[in-house]
Structure 1
Amino acid sequence: MSDLYSTLRVGVDNGVAQIVLDNPPVNALSVTMMRELRTVLDALRHDPATKVIVFSSANPEIFIAHVDMHVVEQMEELQAMAAQAPAGANVFQAVGELLRHQPQVTIVKLAGKARGGGAEFVAAADMTFAAAETAGLGQIEALMGIVPSGGATQYLRQRMGRNRALEILLTGDLFDAPTAAAYGWINRAVPSAELDSYVERVAHSIAALPEGVVAGMKSVLPPEDLTEGFAREESAWGALISRPETQQLMADAVAKGAQTVDGERDLEGLMRSLTR
């Protein structure tokens, strides 16, 4: 199955699908990765034998860096994907909506950092378990001169309340796994050495439940309709992304090392250095 994808490694065993995100150098959420995620999730949607999907990263430092900063250069392909997005969602929000409406239980195993679109991916999944010592989450968009456009404003408010959502969105800070768990962003922080075994136990325990239990549980806990909030988010993002100063800030970020391994280690510091 993995041979079908260039940014994913996919395998299924005993009711659990393992999807490893593998888009070097920093696992940016590119047009190709978004398209391949749609393809694999659509395929799994029609597989009644698969009960759980676990997402992890081939890069131990980075789960998903953020949306690829070069994505606007692929407007024709973006427009084609937007035409396939669910009603009321843009192409970036559609990634999270795929996760939220997947019939399987979706679990993120977070060993490294997830920022921007990567953090939105985490917030859209049913569950996330993160390495206490090494994982981190951040919505970096404010430091780029924009607001999130992949659902973060709605997911975070729903998960933790307006006050904490505003803290995360306006500071642009990187939050460690214990804090993210305390805020309700993720399920729990687990010692790094135990993360693999913990997630494996949870995933296979769920997959082994009697037939109909997973579907029944997801039917009584459906995802909320966030369409109105998505529209507000899209409108605010569109007004900011088109500004020349925003475009310059993003270009300067790439020139200074954003989307390189070294630059992504302290992306917050890099972005702040450009606005001082």
Structure 2
Amino acid sequence: MAQFAIETVTPKIRKVTFANPPVNVVDAGTVAQLSDIVDELSADEQVQVVVFDSATPGYFYNHADLGQVPELLALTAADSTPLFIDLSIRLTKAPFVSIAAIRGRTRGGGDELALAFDLRYASREEALFCQPEVAIGIVPGGGGGDRLPRLLGRDRALEAILTSQDFDADRAEQYGWVTRAVADAELDDFVTAIAARIASFDRASVLAAKAQINRATLPPEADLRASWAEFAGSVSWPGFQARVPQLGKAIAEIGLDEIERNLGHYAGLINEQA
């Protein structure tokens, strides 16, 4: 089933809307479909700006689907690079500017995809950010441990990853996790204006400037591959194996919606029980 819809806003601007209800988990289909979309848009020389948003209320790109970890690990690009890592690299290098309009929860693998976008604008009232991996006994694998330190600094990246807490948009803006927090009622118009302004400039100069900044700021690709390998190994650790049943029990008792809406809180409680 298609999880993405592509809208032509103007000849130079596309909007890619994600929907994988009820809570927008990132599964193998998400990664494969988004990879194809990035290829498609990269091949279109008209495209200069792409806006990424969500059609699922309360969620942007959520964490990976724990029930599909084997399938996610099995996805590879033509050169045998894990497809998730290949996708995140191609997003940062894409011949267009990617802009995330973030409403709702953005966690784990979904946050790692958001970190690969060029610009991230977050709803002040609705956006939440979290890297919950450590709380469930594994490590980030899709770039969270590589990109967040470059954006937040070492100590704040440690706080974000080691506490596995939810961070609201104001704190995310303060830390540098997002480009800017914007009032929810203004978010769409704000992102539209930014996209239109960038699309009005010469494409060659926009992409050359992006390439310069990429050289100065992006983690080495070898580090991203190493983090994925560490993540792949961590799913067999006893701590993760002990916590997965506890998480399933909590979902059955409390309900998926409540757990997902307050995952940072419940991750701590699950840990106490594991």
Q: With structure 2 as the length reference, what TM-score do the two structures score?
A: 0.90
Structure 2 counterpart of 1:267, from 248, 260, 263: 263
Structure 2 counterpart of 1:12, from 8, 13, 18: 8
**Counterpart in 1 of 2:228?**
234
Structure 1 counterpart of 2:56, from 33, 37, 59: 59
What is the 5 A alignment of 1:187-198?
Answer: 187-198=179-190
| SS at structure 2 position matched to 1:56 | strand
Range moving further from structure 2, 186-195 or 218-227: 218-227
* Percent identity (aligned): 30
State the AA in 1 paired with 2:145: T
State the AA in 1 paired with 2:144: A
State the AA in 1 paired with 2:257: V
State the AA in 1 paired with 2:66: M
1:61-110 CA distances to partner (integer Å, 9 max, x unpaired)?
Answer: 010220111113537xx42x2143x67x5333233222111110001001
Unaligned runs of 5+ in 2: none
Q: Indicate if the aligned counterparts of 2:147 and 2:219 stay in contact, CA closer than 8 A.
A: no
**Counterpart in 1 of 2:115?**
123
How many angstroms does 1:211 deviate by?
4.1
Q: Does 1:132 align with 2:132?
A: no
Taking the aligned partners of 1:245 and 1:162, their CA distance within structure 2 comes to 25
Structure 1 counterpart of 2:44, from 35, 47, 57: 47
Q: Indicate if the aligned counterparts of 1:103 and 1:218 stay in contact, CA closer than 8 A.
A: no
How many angstroms does 1:255 deviate by?
3.6
How many angstroms does 1:60 deviate by?
2.5
> Which is richer in helix?
2
| SS at structure 2 position matched to 1:137 | strand
Q: Indicate if the aligned counterparts of 1:110 and 1:130 stay in contact, CA closer than 8 A.
A: yes
**Counterpart in 2 of 1:167?**
159
What is the 5 A alignment of 1:1-276?
Answer: 6-14=2-10, 15-74=12-71, 78-79=73-74, 81-84=75-78, 89-223=81-215, 224-257=218-251, 260-276=256-272
1:9-57 CA distances to partner (integer Å, 9 max, x unpaired)?
Answer: 1112211110111111111111001000000110000111110111101
How many angstroms does 1:225 deviate by?
4.7
Count of aligned pairs: 267
> RMSD over aligned Cα, in angstroms?
2.0
State the AA in 1 paired with 2:186: E
Q: Indicate if the aligned counterparts of 2:247 and 2:270 stay in contact, CA closer than 8 A.
A: yes
1:226-261 CA distances to partner (integer Å, 9 max, x unpaired)?
Answer: 234224423432342112441231233134229932
Q: Indicate if the aligned counterparts of 2:137 and 2:237 stay in contact, CA closer than 8 A.
A: no
Q: Indicate if the aligned counterparts of 1:92 and 1:149 stay in contact, CA closer than 8 A.
A: no
Runs of 4+ in 1 over 4 A off after TM superposition: none
Range moving further from structure 2, 242-251 or 107-116: 242-251
1:143-189 CA distances to partner (integer Å, 9 max, x unpaired)?
Answer: 11111000101101111211111111101111111111111111111
Taking the aligned partners of 2:202 and 2:229, their CA distance within structure 1 comes to 44
Q: With structure 1 as the length reference, what TM-score do the two structures score?
A: 0.90
State the AA in 1 paired with 2:101: K
Unaligned runs of 5+ in 1: none
Taking the aligned partners of 1:25 and 1:206, their CA distance within structure 2 comes to 33
Taking the aligned partners of 2:225 and 2:200, their CA distance within structure 1 comes to 39
Taking the aligned partners of 1:231 and 1:34, their CA distance within structure 2 comes to 16
State the AA in 1 paired with 2:31: M
Taking the aligned partners of 1:228 and 1:242, their CA distance within structure 2 comes to 23
